[in-house]
Chain A
Amino acid sequence: ETGVTQSPTHLIKTRGQQVTLRCSSQSGHNTVSWYQQALGQGPQFIFQYYREEENGRGNFPPRFSGLQFPNYSSELNVNALELDDSALYLCASSPEPGAGTQYFGPGTRLLVL
């Protein structure tokens, strides 16, 4: 069974640029959630995708957007990057939206200069 994978592992961008982060969900999982984790803090929910549709969103501006593909892999896009967007971005997959346990990938560390 393949676990959750994310790419890239690290990324450096400058303010105002756009970035795309990728996530492959665990086999058999149709739900992907994205979280932002600032240094030394707990993760904050960005949004969730279920069967290619957005299925809930946290308190993040519209410049944070996402996609889910038919194979249930997912992308997180962030436009007009700000310095405060520097964080670890975690992707988690689960069999169903409210099924309980979410399984996390290793994360992408984004640094905005």
Chain B
Amino acid sequence: QIQLQQWGAGLLKPSETLSLTCSVHGGSFSGLYWAWIRQPPGKTLEWVGEINQNGNTNYNPSLKSRVAIFLDTSKTQFSLTLRSVNATDTATYYCARLGRTYGKYYFDSWGQGTPVTVSS
């Protein structure tokens, strides 16, 4: 069974760059897409973006100017960078796999989550 393990810095100052990495264990890296999703404290989930094994990316339009997702297939890892962070970027960030069954998509595997706080 596939497992996602993620890590990265949890405390940032405004204007710094957020950097997180997710490692894929126990399964093929050739899934559909590999995504980042975030959740501010006490709020709902927000899709940040995704990448597939060919390096094709899609981003949430609200974050597109600041976000980048890239992968390292040799290490079966993918990473998120978010530039110029501010307090509204404070959230728990999850990596996840997008699965597909019967033509329907859903996030079927999730990392454990990394809390990120932006504070001066």
Q: Do A and B share a complex?
A: no
Q: Name A residues whose Cβ lies closer than 8 Å to a Cβ of B.
A: none
Q: Name B residues whose Cβ lies closer than 8 Å to a Cβ of A.
A: none
